[in-house]
Each structure stands twice: as structure tokens, then as C-alpha cells.
Structure 1
Amino acid sequence: MGVFSLQELVSAFIVLFAVIDIIGAVPIILDLKQKGRSVNAIEATLISAGLLLAFFFAGDMILKLFQVDIASFAVAGAFVIFLMSLEMILDIEIFKNIGPIKEATLVPLVFPLLAGAGSFTTLLSLRAEYATVNILLALLLNMVWVFIVLKMTDRIERMLGKGGIYIIRKFFGIILLAISARLFTANLTLLIEQFQHGG
């Protein structure tokens, strides 16, 4: 589990906060409600937490099955986070949701908005740098935040306004861009060292 570190907890929380981006999803949630597609806050939070925890613990086993190490996955994850940051900064759609399921709580809220490829990749990428206990606490705090936001969606939109939500999305897009660059350089260095020792 590793040693508890407040610095690691805060860092992991910020990374997951930016990737999950529940505030950025508020306009999408409001749009779903306007279309008559109900969103269950408790259900969405619990399913998201369950999926993310399952992937956090089983993802490593899956990687070993395919003979991929954490550093390699973290480099690949850096690319996914980089693309997500471009979506947020440039207002473009790279990850398209074209699934057939029409129920709003599961799709698109839980997957891919809350527990999607970006969140899965980020969790495993964080494992390359932080202790498990700090990542799990950061994830738990993020899930509490997700629940609060889902319960107070209308009030948050009124409080922040469309402009506020837009600015927050841009801000976290830039943070994600910086995180992807750091993840890429740190883990690429590890891979190069492994390759040199192996050679």
C-alpha cells in the first residue's frame, strides 16, 4: 500500500479531478436532463467508483498478461491524457461516444465521462509514481466530490455560469497538458534506463 503522503494525495487528487472533470460535465448532465434522460447520483457514483477500483487492482494483472510494464503503460497513458487536454483546450471532440445504450446514468455519464479510458489510464499511470494508499484516498475524495456535484448540478451551473464552467475546463485542460508532459518524460526516462540495463 505504501506510505501516506499528503503531497502525493493532493497531487493524485488534482490529476484525477482534472481527468474525471465532473464540473466540465455539468453542461452535458443538464442537457441529458432536458432531454428527459434521468441521472441517478448515488448509482452513478457507486458504479464509477466500482469500475475504477476494479481496473486499478486488476489492470496491473491484465498488463502482466500482455507483458506490458507500468512505465510503458504510463507513456501510452500520457498520450491519452494529452489528447484529452487538447479536447478541453481546443474545444474539439477526439473521443466520440457512439455507443447504442440510451440510459443516461450508465452511458454516457458513468462511461465514458466518469470512468472512461482516460480515468483508467490515469489510475495505472499514477501507480508508476505514487503509493497505492494515496491514489485510493484521492479517488475516494474525487468520488465524494462527483456525488456532491451530481446532486447539485443546477445550483452549480447557476453559481458558476456557462462562462465559469468554460474557464474551469480550459484551466484544467492546461493542467492535464502539463501532467501528460511530465508523465511522458519521467516514464520514458525509466524505459530508456531499463533498455540500457537490458542491453
Structure 2
Amino acid sequence: MDAQEWEDRYRAQDRLFSGNPNGVLVTEVAALAPGRALDVGCGEGGDALWLAGRGWRVTAVDIAPTALARGAAADPEGRVTWARADVRAQRPEPGAYDLVSVQYFPLGREPGDAALRGLLDAVAPGGRLLYVGHDVTDGSDAAPFRPEDYYHPADVAERLGAGWTVEAAGTRPRTAPAPPGTHHRHDTVLLARRDVPS
């Protein structure tokens, strides 16, 4: 889906998502010391607001203005920096984030992995990448949808290379019910820490 398709999808409903943080984010991040976080494809801001409430300094990016406006409306204290950005074309600041959170984000594969490399490069030494997707064996709600056209957590793990430690990886049951009308019963997860140079 392109930017206009996402914008139309948000405009078609008063609220597209629950407003609650994603379960994998809560599970994997709750015990971490807060720092600076990048929420990729933040939608209406459930994850960003949860992180900010725990002391993280969050930059939340999305391509849909309506989604960002809803997130900002739920953030009257301005704890989150809301920014319209397409990570496929605009690279985040290198080495700037203690957490880069990519939750169910449809990042299309491309030769050279430029956009993915930009996200990896944004993780500071000692920081973490949390990359979460739907388990494609549960079936797809989108038609047409070709899973092989997108990066999945296992693909990202293969591209980490030296200088990373994988802290969690694999498939697990969802911790919260899937959105109504969807088939997603399991998540695929990658949590990786960028090593601190010795």
C-alpha cells in the first residue's frame, strides 16, 4: 500500500487500531531502561504513547497524516515527536536510537536492502532492534499479498552480520486477540542488540 492508500484507510474509520501497545513490545521492552526510541509506522500512536509513558524519548513516524494527527491528539503534553516520513526514502539518523521498534510494518524487499540498512544503522551501540511481523502461515487478510515481497524477522536476522547479538527470535502466540476479522494468531519476533565496540 502506498501513502494515499494508508491515508484513505485511516480516514475511512474513526479509529483503525485499538490504541493499546502491541503485546510483543510490552513483553520485550518493559524491563529495558528508557532512552531514545524510533517507532516505525507508528499508526495512531499506541506504542509511542506507551513508550513515552515509561520515560522513553520517542520519535514516531508514519506516512499517513491522519494517523499522526490522531496520535498527536492523544498526546496533549507533547511527549512524543510525531513526524511524517517514509523510511523507504528518508533514512533515520544513524546511531541515534536505543530502540528501533518495527511492529507489523510492511517493508518491501529491495536490491541492496537500503531502507532496512537505514533502520539497522539507526540503532546506537548497546541499543536494540525489535522487528515483529505476522506469522504468514496463519494466512493473509490482504489480497493480493505475496509474503516473499516483504522482509520478515528471520530475513532481518540473516542480514544483521557481525556486531549484533540476537536476544530473542522465533514464532510465538499473540499476547492479545487479533483485530476482528483477521487470521493472525502468531507473531514472528526478532530482538537484537547492537554490540558496544570494545
Tell me which structure has the larger Cα radius of gyration: 1
Which one has a larger percent helix, Structure 1 or Structure 2?
1
Which one has a larger percent strand, Structure 1 or Structure 2?
2
Structure with the bigger RCO (C-alpha within 8 Å, sep 6+) is 1
Q: TM-score, normalised by structure 1?
A: 0.24
Q: TM-score, normalised by structure 2?
A: 0.24
